Structure 1
Amino acid sequence: MDLCSETARRHAVLSVAPMLEWTDRHFRYFLRLLTKHTLLYTEMVTCGALLHGDVAQILAFDARERPLVLQLAGSDPRQLARAVRIADAWGFTAYNLNVGCPSDRVQEGRFGACLMREPERVAELVAAMRAVTRLPVTVKCRIGVDERDRYDDLAAFVATVAQGGCDTFIVHARKAWLKGLSPKENRTVPPLRYEFVHRLKRDFPGLTIVLNGGVDSLDQAAAHLDRVDGVMIGRAAYHNPYLLAEADRRFFGGRRPPPSREDVLRAYLPYVRKQLAAGVRLHAMTRHLLGLYHGQPGARRWRRHLSAAGSRADAGIEVLTAWLARQEAVDGGGANVV
């Protein structure tokens, strides 16, 4: 295993899922103030967007966001290879091929979860991507689609795609219904079948298997790590980002105590100032902070403060500094009382 693959594998012990409109560069930078080692993912990027759009706008990120995986979606080997060639100059940690999204728009482009019906094509896509980069190429998939939901179907898919050179599979432990359910319903209605993912690791011990779906705490992640190589947390990390504050100590050998919520906000201020100076609206950043005080007394006050003050067109850094000043007046700045 080369250094690039080993780095990606080590950080894959815990990761945050790619989520459209959520895991943008502002949110990823914010998460890095909570965890230095958890593997982060971009939002899904389609080949068409990358090949015909503003490359810098799509791919640019702060170096402190690494380790960072670029998730790509496509069904044409040549286009995916071109996309990887473009992205290779930007310093990502790895590439991930989306074979799990069930939305109608994605299906119309013949990528996402519908590709689970074509394992040979997925193997071809992986091989085309690997041919033009030294970085690892991984696949994110479901346990099945529609009536193709037996464990044997999943195992056959993994075995075929592995022949294309993929040695890491991130498996959402729900199947996807390609018709009849919305993307949101596909995240909750099909039952979780963790036993499929656990068995996959037993049957393919040489592959890196990462479990995704329904995990909303570090305790749950730790329990799964007895049976798989990694765990990916999705919406729970967005709605309650502070749950990641203990991630480095629990999973990556870190020794520093977790920062307070106020420490995180203070550390975020220089980034916010820089982005405001570049013309980014404050709301583009603060919308990702609504869950910072999740479960804490007064969390509603925090959300109201951000929603009312942070959404104004002329909102500036004072929205956050005013909150911090209030916290210092209440408790001296050292506690998480809101």
Structure 2
Amino acid sequence: MPGDEASAQPPQPARIPAPQPEQGPLARAEQFIWLTARVLEQRRFAFHFLGGAADPVDTALGSYLNGDGGYGHALDPDLRGPLSQPLHTAHALRVLDTLGRCGGQRIERLCRHLTGVSTAEGALPVVFPAPRAYPAAPYHPVQDDPPGELLTTGPVVGVLHRNRVWHAWLFRATDFCWDRIENLRHSHPYEIQSAVAFLDGVPDRARAAAAADRLGRLVREQRLVVLDPERRAEYPPAPGYGPQELLFPYDFARRPESLARGWFTDEELGRALDFLAAEQEPDGGWPVRRREWAPGSALERRPIATLDALLTLRAYGRLATGVSRPGPVPPP
């Protein structure tokens, strides 16, 4: 009726239900994933924690695949647009590695793509220049003639080696990674992560162990890792990083078998894992510490960070194994 104040009120948005406090970490994370994640992260969660099959993950990942054999379409949320980029390739290979599917014609085509887009030294830049500009995080500036970077080349080469992929592209790319790692004198945390990804997969284990030992000393000397989360205010972020963009022991040693595990004492790693478990937020997800530059990118990255946290905690026996709840997995 006219004049009815109640009828003049605008409709209120539906409230998203928060996980119940009594739920365990995995159940709370599950609700967060179903509420916020892309299809790919939903399928990955089902595969890792609900007994789901690998095929739905593979199918979801295939939607990011381009005709040139590379991956695009914001698979890595920091690079928008359809173009194939090395950061997307590294992300895709990490997913395929967990599925045990880094082989076959798909990987052959991918290596041919990498051959065509590598720099003169056989490495991958962070971002390729393109005929038109697509949105990208400001910390990934586009250059006309970008250099090869360990940041992108290391993870790609490491995963391919771990899966015993042999392709001509790998020879020069592997030499590039060895040269960069063995001559590092100053670095930043994400580059060290990429070095570890290479060293954990490369076939020459003795050489990898020696290089990892030197990197571990560098990381501690240059304070690139927060060894005590309670004193993280004493660790300044690396140049160009966000105010909260700090890395902890588990960021380098994602699994106990990583060469980076030897960089930290049991006490240091235990404190870090306690901190990681406590970082789960009331909505069930984990935070993203890097700088937020676009709402969509930030929204898409939190489920990825949540999956990373869950997988790390499980690898160290800090998360209950098996499915998060009884019942069948949703059909593909």
The alignment's TM-score, normalised by the length of structure 2, stands at: 0.33
TM-score, normalization by structure 1: 0.33
**Highest CA radius of gyration, 1 or 2?**
2
Which of the two has greater strand per residue? Answer: 1
Higher relative contact order, structure no. (Cα contacts within 8 Å, ≥ 6 residues apart): 2
